[in-house]
Amino acid sequence: MSKIYVFGIGGTGARVLKSLTMLLAAGVDCGVETIVPIIIDRDMSNKDLSRTKLLIEDYIEVNKIAETKGKNRFFKTKIKLLNGQLFLQLKDNTQKFKDFIGRNTSMSLENQSLMDMLFSKQTLDLDMTEGFQGNPNIGSVVLNQFDDNDIFAAFADDFKNGDKIFIISSIFGGTGASGFPLLRKTFQTSNVKGAYGQDLSNWGLINNAQIGAISVLPYFIVGSPTDDSLVNSDTFIDKSRAALSYYKTEDNKLDTLFYIADRHTTTYPHHKGGKSQMNNAHFVELAAATAVLDFVSPNVTSKNIHRDKDNKIERTTYKEFGINADLVEFNFSNLTDVTKNLIVNPLSRFLLFAKYMGYTVVKKDINGKEELVVEKVEKNDVFENEHRYQPYAYKRFTGEFRKINSIQKLESVQIKFFEWLLEMEKQNRKFTPFNLLSSSASDFIKGSLNIVKSRVLNFKNWAKVDNELNVQIKKIDKSLENDSRFMELFYRATEELINYKN
């Protein structure tokens, strides 16, 4: 099976990759066996990046127990890091833009004057360690060094015939808007050399690889700056318009180009970057992640890819994402059938699994303000309370089982999964598919979809889940390690209990 290399550029790229990882953890259908994520950003201290990195690291650990040769789909798709790294670190670490272009060191007076005409003093003095702060004109200059990197050589080495490339970027910021066309151009430039001037292996394959991208249009705005930040959301629409007019030149250079936007925006606190840049997850990011899955789906290859007999792109397919109604709060019922078929079962099954492990959302008083937070609640921890009694767990999942690394990482992802769902509820356009406060095994899915078996024989609520676990344990390959068996067991049980069909 082939791989897809997913390049996430900037903060939006990192957040979409996070949503993609959540979907893969939940077991969505993915048309490739392996996803290789690569994040490109100059702002390495960005909290969105570090959150994505931690999630992917946990995912990779859990993926090791997901190969059960059975039905399991949780964490099934492999995520592989090139050279063990998630970030494509640009080698040049110059802090100020004017130093990067050598305005004060290598330019004649005439050129310095030209630079002063093209860029404002504020832009020339911009500290680029916190990204390009919404300035694609800077990004397009600084990012033009992708190939000068060890990871790029590793990417070329790793690339095989049939592998695909996907680029995620936002159009209204700095890094993504400028990085996307540069990166696409680099992939399709022949004879690109490595960091040490060496030929890059497989570059011919990369030149002709199927390539898709999603360009995320504005879906949030930022408040007034509290520092010397140059980010100004008043310019988001204009920047998008300008970038889109430039992207016209990308026509027929990509196999598929996806667009997504949301006019009902949330206003985030203003941060130019760094550790304080941590935006809540948004449904737009989840939907953008489904673009990657759509691009690799074998069911729609004929719609997405139009190549001639010489494997040249005949025309670019353009796709947009939409929901059925323009609602400020929506759930699974408001999604199109294609999206429902893709995400309803996996998200619901994985949430049921996480709830069984005791995770839930509770109201808490924080600094005199009632807030919703994700916690493990002892009385809701059905696994802890039941594993001593239930046949499925007997001598398998008892004792120190919960302390083994793979299970701890699994639970770590489950907490993050809950937080991710909760964050999507906190946006102005709320995606609220679940009643996260519910402690029930039956009524936690909102909307008119009746997909959870409400009663199995005489079993209700969590007894129904335990009964199913006790049924399924007999069907699982006994030669599996306990942690893999655990994964297979919960997938099978939740699959039996939750089954949405159109």
Residue 391 binds to another protein (criterion: CB under 8 A)? yes
Measured from the CB atom, is 113 or 454 closer to another protein?
454
Burial class (CB in 10 A: 0-12, 13-18, 19+), 224: exposed
In contact, 221 and 265? CB cutoff 8 Å: yes
- The window from 11-19, 84-92, 339-347, 384-392 that contacts another protein (CB under 8 A) reads 384-392
Residue 457 C-beta: closest distance to another protein, Å? 5
196 binds another protein (CB under 8 A): no
Least distance from another protein to the Cβ atom of residue 69, Å? 24
Kindly tell me which of 388 and 501 has the beta carbon lying closer to another protein: 388
Residues 442-471 that bind another protein (CB under 8 A): 457-459, 463, 466-467, 470-471
Strand-strand pairing, 210-216 and 164-170: parallel
By CB under 8 A, tell whether 401 contacts another protein: no
CB of 386 to another protein, least distance (A): 7
Q: φ, ψ for residue 456 (rounded to 5)?
A: -120, 110
Looking at residue 78, its amino acid is: K
Residue 394, interface with another protein (CB under 8 A)? yes
Could you tell me how many residues of this chain bind another protein (CB under 8 A)?
13
Shortest spacing between CB 256 and another protein, in angstroms: 48
In which residue are the tokens 């449904």 written?
283
Query: How far apart, in whole angstroms, are the C-alpha atoms of residue 191 and residue 461?
Result: 61
Please name every residue paired with 18 in a beta bridge, in sequence order, or none if there are none: none
179-to-169, 202, 287 alpha-carbon distances in Å: 8, 22, 21
- Residue nearer to another protein on the CB measure, 226 or 454: 454
Give 376's DSSP letter. E
Query: Using the rule CB under 8 A, which residue among 389, 403, 448, 479 binds another protein?
Result: 389
State in angstroms the smallest separation of the CB of 393 from another protein.
Answer: 9
Q: Are 83 and 154 in contact (CB under 8 A)?
A: yes
Contact status: 478 vs another protein (CB under 8 A): no
Using the minimum distance from each CB to another protein, give the nearer residue, 88 or 493. Answer: 493
- Give me the DSSP letters along 227-268: SS----GGGHHHHHHHHHHHHGGGTTTSSEEEEE--SSPEEE
Q: Nearest approach, Cβ of 378 to another protein (angstroms)?
A: 18
* Cα gap 355→295, rounded to integer Å: 32
- Minimum CB–partner distance for residue 403 and another protein (Å): 22
Closest contact distance (angstroms) between CB of 484 and another protein is 22
CA distance 432 to 425: 6
Residue with Cβ nearer another protein (152 or 392): 392
b (16+ CB within 10 A) / e for 16-47:
bbbbbbbbbbbbbbbbbebbbbbbbbbbbebb
Nearer Cβ to another protein (183/393): 393
Which of residues 135 and 390 has its CB atom nearest to another protein in the complex?
A: 390
Q: Which of 67, 386, 423, 496 binds another protein (CB under 8 A)?
A: 386
Question: Measured from the CB of residue 356, what is the shortest distance to another protein in angstroms?
Answer: 12
The number of CA neighbours under 13 Å toward the Cβ of 52 is 36
Residues at the contact surface with another protein, assessed by CB under 8 A: 386, 389-391, 394, 457-459, 463, 466-467, 470-471
